[in-house]
Each structure stands twice: as structure tokens, then as C-alpha cells.
Structure 1
Amino acid sequence: MNVDIGNALASVASPGVSRESLERLDEQVAAAHERIERGMANEEHGYEALNLPERTDPDEIRAAVEPVADADALLTVGIGGSSLGAATITNALEGVEPRSTESRTQSDGTETVFLDNIDPEWVSSRLEGLPLENTAINVVSRSGTTAETLANFLVVREALESAGVDWTERTIVTTGESGPLRNLADRHDLPSLNVPDGVPGRFSALSAVGMVAAAVCGHDLKALLAGAAAERETLTGSLFDCPAYAYGATTYALDGRGAGVNAIMPYAESLETSAEWFAQLWAESLGKDDLGQTPVRALGVTDQHSQLQLYRAGPRDKLVTFVTTRESEDRPIPDTDVEELAYLGDATLGELLEAEFEATEASLAAAGRPNVRVELERVDAYELGGLLYGMEAACVLAGELYGVNTFEQPAVEWAKKATRGLLGGGDFEEADAVAEKTELRIER
């Protein structure tokens, strides 16, 4: 990926960061890079995620999914990092022809559904629309005890049994080395893959966690990892030589100057889910000790009409991160006899999209609002691998600069304990806090 931070400079935007400030910050980046390299070399928890391009075995993943490789639909049961990376990859690459013919083309028509919520009506509607007799189940949980995932898996298993389908012949498990899901996989001899040690879920897109779904859909796993590996090669001790570090350092600097909101806005419909993935990565990794930017999801051009007014004329507390591509498929706009619209007949949808992006970027700059451009050559497996890795590296770098533990999530664990306690899954003091809620009800 390439990064342009020009519109985040103090000469353009307020808040903004001067070139001189970036040069001073670069000394901290160099020290942070040494810490990151040491963590990677020692395979430390969290830092191990940045080793995934060379540690993940695409052939092992291919072998595991072979029993369901002909599935008409794939149902992934997971939540958070156990789902968003996989959804980002499959949604981005749907219908995109791979550079190589490693396996079936990814346009093979496999329908993908991600059960990442437990709303009962929504879950039921998802199941009702699937051809259960030829649906593959991909259940993902490191611990094998994630309440939402296990509850949905039990519901899915019952639905298959009611339809006369042997769920053991349709299920792949991705989990840790021990736990209920591991025991289930061993007992029923299910195809299974390991969640890599030392890799938090939100950093696991480039492992089996994110790539099982891609494999079932026929996407190019080797290209994904090659793109990530190429991005890893750019990690150096200077933000001026490394796109990922440039992004991480700039967001950190802008946050310290008042831009506490980071609105990420892809200008490709296929990358919409990547904004959801980024939101978890950024929020769960950096939101500690009263620090961290608040990620906001947007989509170009759709949200030019719903959010741009706030970004351009609202409080000066936002950075807008654009994600755009240099190349994409195009489609001409038909001619019209409406005089006021005649200019559109000389253009294509791609040209209109590019003009909308450039106008929005310039609009923010003209109003002195900081924005950064993250640019891919195109949306394909190689470029997507680079984007995922680059954003993870940027997040790790930002965590080092903030001085927080990027890889823990104590607030999330607190809520998990409270939930288990409320359902009778153990005696947790966190559950007692629910009864202590302060109320001020206004009812009709």
C-alpha cells in the first residue's frame, strides 16, 4: 500500500502536524521499530502476528477445507476477530479474477454468510435462506468457549440435523490447542486448524482464522500472503521510508493535537467490510488508559451525502482516512438526451467515482481538515494482503508510541465475564454490577 500524508500537514490542516514535528517523531519511530523487531524475533505475544506471512501454510488450509470445497454456501460462525478478517477477504475478492490459478477461481459462486451476531430473528433469517444440504460450516473460536459463537454453532447444528444433514460431514473447526471446540473436533474427527499462538484475534486475518473462508471460496491464498510479505519488507526504522509507519505515526500525532476521531472511508464497495475490520483493530488495540482514536466507518461515495457535512464543517476533532485504488473495472455511462446531464455521457462510472473522491479530498483540504490517502493498485488478493498487514503494522507502531499494551483487551474480557455470570456460567463479580445500574426511566 502507498500512503500520502500531505493533507495532514500543519501547512494544510488544523489540527495538523508539521514536517519538523514528524522528523522529531521519527526518532521515536526508530526506537519503536527496534522494539517491534525484537518482539517479532522472540515470537512474543502480539508481535507474532507480524510474522504470519511466513508462518501461515496455505497448503495446510487447502487440505483442511477439501472435504467441503464443493459447497454452494459457507456459513462462518465467529465474532469479532474470528469473523471480520474472513469477511473482509471474501467480500473484497468476490468476483475478482486471481492473478494465478492456484485453485478454483474465486468467482465460483460460493455464497458466504457470517454469523457474527446473536439477534435471534437475524440468525433465523440467515439460516432459512441457505441450502443446508450443501452448506459448509466454519466455526472459529480460539478458546472454544466464546458464548456467542458456541450458541450460534449449537443453533446451526440443530438446523442441519433437522434438515437431515450430518453436520459432522460439513464442519471445519478453527480453534486453540485445547478447549471444548478442540475436544469436539477430536471426538468427531472433524477437519481442524489451529488459531496461531501469540496472535490476538483482531490480528489473525492472515492466518487460518481469516483464510479458511477464502480457501472454500477459491481465493488465492498464496497471493494474499505474498502481498503481506511484501509489506513486511517495507518495515524500516523511519516513517519516511515505510507507508505503514507513516500512517501509524501520523494518526498518533494528529490524535495528540485534537483529532481523536478517525473516519476510515474506502472508495470501493468491495472494501466496505475492511472498515469494520479496521474499526475493531484500532479501537480494541489502542483504546486504553484514556488514550486512542475513535474509529468511524464510512463509505465513498455513499457517505459524502450523509457524513461529509460533519467532517468538513463540524468540530475539528477528526481525521479522514481514504482508501482508494489506482485501477478498477469500469463501465460507461449511457448517453442521454437530457441537456443538463449530457456531460455524463462522455464519462464512465469509474471516472465519476475518481472525480467524487478527488473532490471530497480537496473539499476537506480546502476547509483545513486533515485527511490521509491510503492507496492500492487495485483490489486483488496481493494488494489486499498488503493492506491488512500494513494496517496491522501501523496499529502496532501507534501502540508503541502511545505506550499501551496493544495486544490486550481487558474491557472486553470484563463484559464476557459479566455475560457468563448472568447466564449461570460461573460466579463472576462483574455480573453483580449489572444489578447496580442507575435508572432514570421516562415511559409512556
Structure 2
Amino acid sequence: MRVDLGNALDDVASPGVARADLDSLDERVADAHERIADGRANDEHGYAALNLPDTVDPDAIRSAVEPFADADAVLTVGIGGSALGAATLANALESDVDAYFLDNVDPEHVRTLLDDVSLADAAVNVVSRSGTTAETLANFLVVRDAMDAAGVDWTERTFVTTGEEGNLRDLADRHDLPALAVPEGVPGRFSALSTVGLACAAIQGHDLDAILAGASDGADSLDGSLFESPAYAYGAVSYALDERGAAVNAMMPYAESLETFAEWFAQLWAESLGKDGVGQTPARALGATDQHSQLQLYRAGPRDKMVSLVRPVERDDRAIPETDLPGLEYLGGSSLGELLDAEFEATEASLAAAGRPNVRVEIDRVDERSLGELLYGMEAACVLAGELYGVDTFVQPAVEWGKRAARGLLGGGDFEEADAVADKRTLTVE
């Protein structure tokens, strides 16, 4: 992974960071790196996520999914971090095994998805650390009912990824289901490189060792200086730009296969850093598509954004046929890849010309190793940013509040958060 901060400097952009300020910030990065290193050495909660390249056992994952080697599809039932990491890998990498994700309880979406999946030929992976996540368990009950209705023995097509205790662990023990353990000390949004994110990849036939090797490359690049570590460079400059007014971080990959990566990043950045009145708001975009829908705002709207432009430097390509259509002759003889690269560089230059901060992130190609490095790099960047903000990166109290309120509304316990729903202020216009 390579990170270019040139267009985030204050002689290019406003807001921007002075080169001298980066030098000063680097002293704080060094202190933060020591804290991160200590957390990793002691396998502390959250910091343990950065040890996953060394602690995850890919053989155990492959063994757990071996009963589903005949699957034509894999259906992951989870939400948030229990699904987005797996979906990022699945949507980025090609496979003959289709991947589906039930990560919402919209009944129409659930019905449509289940109509598309041959449950007799699918592996169903139910993912919840606690084993009590309402959305996940509700969807699993619906899936299990659909399997029964289709004459499919759900116990033969289901495995779980969960903690050592809880409803899902009890279910696995009762029905002798294959089970993978969620790693201790790793929050869900940091679990893409663990059993949580890699089980789907294993069923799809992807190279887990290459994914973890890429993550190890990212770990090896962590250094006490932002000028020596791409991950720290990204995390530090994002923090610095936010402190100077760039409160929105628009993640804009220039590869269709990385669109879900932008969704994964949005959860990682928002849930980890949005505390105590600080933290950037992540926005999701896709190049070149959103040059025609969002770039107007990023270039000419409020000066409260940085744009993160991500691209692979190598990709499969397709030639553009020659044409004699007036005004289009210049396209003939080039390729779609060349056009996409031109769009990337034009967007980058357009933002710089308007004085809008942007950061270039490049990976070699969209393959297992590069994805492992990219995911690890963004996780490390997020942890570093959390240290600089002074927030607890690994908790999510605001999310837990909403979970308790919803559970109380459904009769799942007596939670005072549910009482707040009845106090809603209304001003209805019909």
C-alpha cells in the first residue's frame, strides 16, 4: 500500500496541513506507536486485532468449512462487522461460488434474497460474537424456516461463528454444527482478517494464506514515524485535516470491485472514532461513477471534506474499439483501464486545482495479498487516529444504546432506553 499526502499539504489545499506541522505531529505518532505496540504485545482488547496475521489459524478455518466443499453459494447471516469484512473480500474477488449476505431485516429484501438462493446447495454461516444479536438471530430463524419449507436439513448446511458462550454456541453444541470461534479482544469491525471475515473466503476458494501474508506486510510496515508507514501516514493526515476543518472523509475507490470496501471503511471509521464530540464522518463514493453525482459538492461545496482516492495500479483491461463517430475518435485505440486511470488523475487534479484536500492510496492490484494489506492498513490507520483523538477506539456505547432500546420494544427485557421511544417529539405534516 502506498499513500501520497502531497495534495493534503497547505500549499495545495485549504484546509491543508503544513509540512512543518506534519513534522511536529510525527512526534505524537511516535508516542502513539509505542502505545499501540504495548497493546499488541499484551494482546489488549482491540489492539489484539493488529496481531491477527500471526494469531489466526487458516487451517482451522479451512477444516471448519470442509463439509461445505460442495456448496454453490454461501449465505452469511450477520450484521455490521459480522458481515462487511467477508463481503468486502467476496465482492472484490472472483469465484465460482456465489456469496450472499443477510445483513438487514428489511422483510422485502430478505424475501427477495431467499428467493434467489438455492438453500439446498448453499452453506449458511451465522455470525454473532454474543450469539444474541437480534437482527442476526431473527434472520437466521427465517432462513431456517425457509430451509425446512424447502425440505432442506438445516443442520447439514449450517455452521456458526460465535463466542465461547451464548445462544449460537449452545445451538452448535446441541446440533453438532461446525463452529468457529470469534477471536478474543477483537471488535467486530476489526475482524475482517479473522474467522469472521475469512470463512466465506475459504468456501469461495480464495487463498487465505495470501490474504494473511498481505496483512503481515501491513504489520511489518508499522513504524514510529508517519513518514515510514503508509497506514500511519493515512491515519495521521486524516486526523490533522479533521482538526483543521475537514470533518468529512469521502472514501472513493476507482475499482467497482472495491465498492464494498468503502462500506467497510465507513463502519470502521465512524464506529471507532465518532466519540466525545470528535471523529470524521465517512462518506462513500465510487470512481468514476460518482464524479457525475458527488464531485460537484466535493470540489465546490463547503470546505469540510477530504477525499480519499484509492486505486489498483494493475488490472485486467479491455480495449475500446476504433470509431469514426465525430468527436470520439480519441477514444478508439485506448482502453477502459486507461480511461479509468485518466478519470482518477483528472479527479485528483480537479480537487487540487480547487484547493480541496485529497489523499492517494494505491495497491498493486485487487487480489488476496493486496486486499489483506489494504484492510490491515486501514485498521492500523484507524487505531492510530484514535490515539491521536484520545478516544477509546474499540467501544461503541451509542450503538449499544440503540440495541437495548430495540430489544426492549420487542419484549426482550426491561430496558429504560426503550422508554425513550414513547417520549418522541412529533411535528407531523400530511
Cross-structure match for 1:320: 307
Matches within 5 A, 1:388-403: 388-403=375-390
Whether 2:186 is the aligned partner of 1:202: answer no
Instruction: Map Cα deviations across residues 263-303 of structure 1 (whole Å, 9 max, x no partner).
Output: 00000000000000000000000000000000000000000
Alpha-carbon distance in structure 2 between the residues aligned to 1:92 and 1:130: 20
Whether 2:231 is the aligned partner of 1:231: answer no
1:212 maps to amino acid: A
Instruction: Map Cα deviations across residues 15-59 of structure 1 (whole Å, 9 max, x no partner).
Output: 000110000000100000000000000010000000000001111
2:70 maps to amino acid: D
Alpha-carbon distance in structure 1 between the residues aligned to 2:322 and 2:352: 33
Cross-structure match for 2:418: 431
2:283 maps to amino acid: V
Instruction: Map Cα deviations across residues 351-376 of structure 1 (whole Å, 9 max, x no partner).
Output: 00000000000000000000000100
The 3-state SS of whatever aligns with 1:339 is: coil
Alpha-carbon distance in structure 2 between the residues aligned to 1:82 and 1:363: 37
TM-score (norm 2): 1.00
TM-score (norm 1): 0.96
Alpha-carbon distance in structure 2 between the residues aligned to 1:3 and 1:46: 24
Matches within 5 A, 1:20-419: 20-94=20-94, 107=95, 109-419=96-406
Shift of 1:214: 0.2
Shift of 1:342: 1.0
2:45 maps to amino acid: H
The 3-state SS of whatever aligns with 1:345 is: coil
Farther-moved stretch of structure 1 (61-70 vs 79-88): 61-70
Cross-structure match for 1:13: 13
Shift of 1:337: 1.9
Instruction: Map Cα deviations across residues 240-279 of structure 1 (whole Å, 9 max, x no partner).
Output: 0000000000000000000000000000000000000000
Alpha-carbon distance in structure 2 between the residues aligned to 1:44 and 1:69: 35
The 3-state SS of whatever aligns with 1:342 is: coil
The 3-state SS of whatever aligns with 1:346 is: coil
1:218 maps to amino acid: G
Shift of 1:132: 1.5
Cross-structure match for 1:97: none
Alpha-carbon distance in structure 1 between the residues aligned to 2:69 and 2:399: 35
Shift of 1:133: 1.1
Over aligned residue pairs, what C-alpha RMSD do you find?
A: 0.5
1:268 maps to amino acid: A
Cross-structure match for 1:101: none
Alpha-carbon distance in structure 2 between the residues aligned to 1:324 and 1:73: 29
2:97 maps to amino acid: T
1:52 maps to amino acid: L
What stretches of structure 1 of length at least 5 have no aligned partner? 95-106
Instruction: Map Cα deviations across residues 384-407 of structure 1 (whole Å, 9 max, x no partner).
Output: 000000000000000000000000
1:159 maps to amino acid: A
Alpha-carbon distance in structure 2 between the residues aligned to 1:376 and 1:13: 24
1:426 maps to amino acid: G
Alpha-carbon distance in structure 2 between the residues aligned to 1:70 and 1:32: 47
The 3-state SS of whatever aligns with 2:36 is: helix
Alpha-carbon distance in structure 2 between the residues aligned to 1:170 and 1:81: 23
The 3-state SS of whatever aligns with 1:344 is: coil
- Percent of pairs identical after alignment? 73
What stretches of structure 2 of length at least 5 have no aligned partner? none
Shift of 1:336: 1.4
Alpha-carbon distance in structure 2 between the residues aligned to 1:237 and 1:73: 43
Shift of 1:346: 1.8
Alpha-carbon distance in structure 1 between the residues aligned to 2:116 and 2:253: 29
Farther-moved stretch of structure 1 (170-179 vs 126-135): 126-135
Alpha-carbon distance in structure 1 between the residues aligned to 2:213 and 2:40: 18
Alpha-carbon distance in structure 2 between the residues aligned to 1:413 and 1:394: 24
Instruction: Map Cα deviations across residues 95-151 of structure 1 (whole Å, 9 max, x no partner).
Output: xxxxxxxxxxxx3x1111100000001100000111111111011000000000000
Alpha-carbon distance in structure 1 between the residues aligned to 2:398 and 2:218: 31
Shift of 1:339: 2.3
Alpha-carbon distance in structure 1 between the residues aligned to 2:171 and 2:423: 38
